[in-house]
Amino acid sequence: MLQNLRGKSIATGAIAFSLVACNPNLQASQLSSSQEIAQSKQPLVVATNSVTCGLTREVAGNTIDLKCLIEPGSDPHLYQPKPDDSKAIEQAKLILYGGYNFEPSLIKLIKASSNPAPKVAVNEVAVPKPQQFEADGETVTDPHVWHNAQNGISIAKAIADSLEKEFPNNAAEYTTNAKKLTSELSQIDTWIKSQILTIPPQQRKLVTTHDAMGYYSKAYGIPIEGALGGISTEEAPTPTRVSELVKDIKQAGVPTIFAEKTINPRLIETVAREAKVKVANRELYADGLGEKATEAETYQGMLIANTRTIVEGLGGKYTQFQP
């Protein structure tokens, strides 16, 4: 608006200046608009899920125009692409997604895209040998690799490498930011191990709504006794599965079971009632980061929040993380 006014008379320009000077809200609005214009000049990078997006934001800083497709708190397994998603994918200079069929509808859309820009499955690059198991006679890959902080370090490196390859002028910044992340996540990794050790050994047993915590279990020494659903929330638990899980919980002496942020807690609450155990007061962030202004809005925060939930739920002594 001010650009058009500048082309008019000096008197009109003076009036406009006076209005802006007397109206801080207008100044803020125009500053925001200018920032948006500046941002739009940056190369467009698309990231599918909230974990990939969060780590990309930390590595890239302000060097890119980052478009995150799946909002925090949404379920990537069930997410259905919007028209704007297709547009962003076609226009992006770089497309980063999780892979291992974590966000199946978006992966299908990305692979069908005619955009020649690099399409990188960062979790597959970072963790080339994922956890696998048999389900209904088929080998299934667990896509939830980020629940191990060491894998998070590898994901951050995969993102940094992809950014450096496409935007080499910013390579130094990407390297610096990735190193900072590595340091932070290494500290969190050590802290998680110390926190799990505060849980009485006989109570280190994890039961969740769906089978998303396998990497956490293996990395931090807390066995999974069962899950209501499989690795994808697309799989609705059958009455038989509910009965089996209730039986497993009773036999294992599990003290507490855990609900998840993106899944209706009704079924896990039913299991808890039948097994005569409690549901933890806090829910796990199993399929991504938390919403803005929550404790888990960053990847680091998500790891810390989940550890607190598990430690407090299973009778351990939670101590706040100190960098």
Cβ density class 157-178: b for 16+ within 10 Å, e for less: bbbbbbbbebbeebeebbbebb
- Decide: 108 and 86 in contact? Cβ < 8 Å: no
Q: What is the mean pLDDT of residues 147-176?
A: 99
- Decide: 81 and 106 in contact? Cβ < 8 Å: yes
Beta bridge partners of 256: 278
- pLDDT 10s digits, 234-248: 566 788 888 988 999
Which of 183, 249, 192, 261 lies closest to 222 in space, CA to CA? 192
3-class secondary-structure state, position 96 = strand
Residue 233 banded pLDDT, cuts 50, 70, 90: low
- The overall average pLDDT reported for the chain is 88
Q: Which of 89-93, 208-212, 230-234 has the lowest mean pLDDT?
A: 230-234
Q: Which of 265-269, 283-287, 298-302 has the lowest mean pLDDT?
A: 265-269
Integer Cα distance of 146 and 152 in angstroms: 5
Integer Cα distance of 209 and 181 in angstroms: 30
Task: Give pLDDT, residue 18.
Answer: 41
Residue 32 banded pLDDT, cuts 50, 70, 90: very low
* Angle, vertex CA 263, rays to CA 260 and CA 267, nearest 5: 95
What domains, with CATH codes, occur in the chain? 2-39 (no CATH), 44-192 (3.40.50.1980), 197-313 (3.40.50.1980)
Which of 12, 110, 96, 112 lies closest to 54 in space, CA to CA? 96
Q: Is 221 left (phi over 0), alpha (psi -120 to 50) or beta?
A: left
pTM metric for this prediction: 0.85
Highest mean pLDDT among 18-22, 35-39, 152-156, 210-214: 152-156
- pLDDT 10s digits, 72-125: 989 999 999 999 999 999 999 999 999 999 999 999 999 999 999 999 999 999
4: pLDDT strictly greater than 80:
no
Task: Give pLDDT, residue 126.
Answer: 99
Neighbour tally for 245: CB within 10 Å? 24
Beta bridge partners of 82: none
Give me 21's structure tokens. Answer: 């000077």
Beta bridge partners of 208: 227, 258
**Rg of the Cα atoms in the chain:** 23
- pLDDT 10s digits, 35-74: 443 446 899 999 999 999 999 999 999 999 999 999 998 9
Task: Give pLDDT, residue 38.
Answer: 42
